[in-house]
Amino acid sequence: MCWRSLLGSRWGAQVGMTVLSHWGLALLAPLAFMAFWGAFLSPKAAYVLPVAVRDGLRQLVFAVAALAARQVWGQPFAAGLLVLSALTMLASRFI
């Protein structure tokens, strides 16, 4: 969760056009992802989703994070992030 917050704030600070949008995106992007993750995707989520839907949404969150990582840190880091997220999801099936 920490690296997603860092990535979201770093991405938000780089993408905005004005000072207000830099700060707004830097603060709101990580908060929106954390709220979404906490409500739907965490182990103690308030709303329980079917496993297939939950896994698909998790991969979508990781894909959006990889797109942001590509803008902030470059292609190799984004590709590594996608591979790591896929391996983590695969390992969580067997644990």
| pTM assigned to the model | 0.69
pLDDT at 21 over 80: no
How far is it, in rounded angstroms, from Cα 87 to Cα 16? Answer: 33
Domain boundary assignment for the chain = 2-94
What b/e sequence results for 16-39 when a residue is b if at least 16 CB atoms lie within 10 Å of its CB, and e otherwise?
eeeeeeeeebbeebbeebeeebee
Confidence at 71, pLDDT banded by 50, 70, 90:
confident
The span from the CA of 82 to the CA of 79, in Å, is: 5
Whether residue 85 is predicted with pLDDT greater than 70 in this model: the reply is yes
Q: Is 74 left (phi over 0), alpha (psi -120 to 50) or beta?
A: left
- Give the pLDDT mean for 21-31: 77
